[in-house]
Amino acid sequence: MMRRIVVGAVFAISILSAGMPLEQKIGQMLMVGFHGTSAKPGSQICKDIRQYNLGAVILFDYNPVDKTKPKNISSKAQVARLTKELQACSRDGKLLIAVDQEGGRVQRLKSRYGFYGKFPKAADVAKNGTGQMRQTYEMMAKELRSVGINYDLAPVVDLDINPKNHVIHGLGRSFGRDPQTVQKYASVFMDAMHRYGVLTALKHFPGHGSSVGDTHKGFVDVTNLWKPVELEPYKLLKTKADTVMVAHVFNRHLDAVYPATLSQKTVSGLLRKKLGYRGVVITDDLQMGAISQKYSLRQTLALAINAGDDLLLFGNQLDPKKVVTTEKLVKTVALLVKEGTVPMKRIDQAYMRIQKLKSKLP
């Protein structure tokens, strides 16, 4: 019976997809950051959601343009109002509204805005056993749900295998060095989120735990550090994962030319064909230094889509001088499709995967 329902839903999505304009299919593939603590009907973000059928947004508290003002988050009541306004702008009421909420240093919903804000980092949660962990993550999921956030860009499933790594190890963002332990604790996190209707993202494929550099700042080569064991959490969680986030790390053994996010060998070859993952692949922020310093916007979009990425993240957070509009993103991808650089098949494939993902939302 369940199989019949799923097949029926997929068939319905394909029928809807057939008559949808190209620009609106492309819109579903984008997750963008924007400035504003509200999304009234006349706001730019609301217009973008309506006109381009935008698939996802990401919320931040820190405002890179004016540190004295919030970017999207100022209080619990305000975030709850903002997410309602955002959903009202969307066609299906299932806009993906995302935050990075891991615990420790990475939590956007802070105490000073009226949220709990004291969720421990993964390394500390792992010390307390699954019972305490379940309580912690249920509390986190409940808080996300209470303000209308339906997509948490977590958990981190990177292995804690390099003590010199300051991005994962230094911030205590990993559950441990053993793949089975990481899989077990990541499952507890995901179960808690799912109980409250919040989607998750395993990150950072194919593994950021062995690196020493920071892809926010520039090129990070893990060729001589990366170990195949870093793929294990993804193998173990491939059927449970809602989405997998791909990192911008470069590994000559996997692809001698491109970093993971832009690599067909890594995304379509390794993650999909070899490991058998079938769900949505989301990029890490494509404005991070590892990508923006080396590739133009046009190259980035063409390579990311052709690599097999479905959801393209542009946080508009890292550099106020490099804000990119939804219109520019949609029109650039549409041009790439029209000239044959990106096959229409890839857009349809990504669109279908994203609709299937959104069908999990309550």
**What local confidence, expressed as pLDDT, does residue 2 receive?**
46
Tokens of 166: 């300051």
CA distances (Å), origin 173, targets 10, 13, 194, 204: 36, 37, 21, 11
pLDDT tens digits, one per residue of 264-297: 999 999 999 999 999 999 999 999 999 999 999 9
CB-CB contact of 270 with 254 (8 Å): yes
pLDDT of residue 352: 98
Instruction: Kindly report the CATH number that applies to the domain delimited by 2-358.
Output: 3.20.20.300
Under DSSP, is residue 288 helix (H, G, I), strand (E, B) or coil? coil
Give phi and psi for 99, each to the nearest 5: -140, 160
- C-alpha 291/C-alpha 304 separation (Å) is 11
Q: Token digits for 176?
A: 């441990």
CB-count exposure of residue 241 (10 Å: 0-12, 13-18, 19+): buried
The answer to whether 181 and 197 are in contact (CB under 8 A) is no
Cis peptide before 204 (omega within 30 of 0): yes
- Tell me the two tokens of residue 326: 């939804």
pLDDT band at 207 (very low <50, low <70, confident <90, very high): very high
pLDDT at site 327: 98
pLDDT of the residue at 8: 54
- pLDDT-based confidence at 219, cuts 50/70/90? confident
Position with higher pLDDT, 255 vs 219:
255
Residue 120: asked if its preceding bond is cis (omega within 30°), the reply is no
Per-residue confidence (pLDDT) for residue 13, from 0 to 100: 54
CA distance 57 to 72: 11
The domain ranges of the chain are 2-358
d(C-alpha 156, C-alpha 329), whole Å: 28
- Check residue 220 and give its pLDDT: 86
CB 209 within 8 A of CB 161: yes
For 45-60, the pLDDT digits (tens) are 999 999 999 999 999 9
Active site residues: 216, 284
Q: What is the pLDDT of residues 316-347, one digit of tens each?
A: 999 888 999 999 999 999 999 999 999 999 99
